[in-house]
Structure 1
Amino acid sequence: MAAQHRATAPGTGRSLARSRPRYGETVIKTLLLAATLVSILTTVGIIYSLVEPTIEFFQAVRVAEFFGSLDWGPLIKPPTFGVWPIVVATLEITVIAVVVAVPLGLAAAIYLSEYAKPRVRRFFKPVLEILAGVPTVVFGYFALTFVTPLLNDVFPFLQLEAKNALAAGLLVGIMIIPIVASLSEDAMAAVPNGLREGSFALGASKMLTSVRVVVPAAFSGIVAAVILAVSRAAGETMIVAVAGGFKSIFTFDPTSEMATMAAFIAQAGAGDLSTGSIPYKTIFAVGSLLFVITFVMNWFSARMVQKYREVYD
Structure 2
Amino acid sequence: MPRPLDKLPKAHLHLHFTGSMRHSTLIELAREQGLHLPDALEQDWPPRLRATDERGWFRFQRLYDIARSVLAKPEHVYRLLLETAEDEATAGSRWLEIQVDPSGYAQRFGGLTATLELVLDAAARAAERAGIGMAVVVAANRTRHPLDANTLARLAAQYAGKGVVGFGLSNDERRAQARDFDRAFRIAKRAGLLAVPHGGELLGPRSIAQCVDDLEADRVGHGIRAAEDQRLMERLADRQICCEVCPTSNVGLGVAERAADVPVRRLFDSGVPIALGSDDPLLFGSRLLRQYELARDVYAFRDGEIAELARQSIRSSSAPEALRKELMKEIDDWLMTPPPESSAESSPQ
Q: TM-score range by the shorter chain?
A: under 0.3
With normalisation by structure 1, the TM-score equals 0.26
With normalisation by structure 2, the TM-score equals 0.24
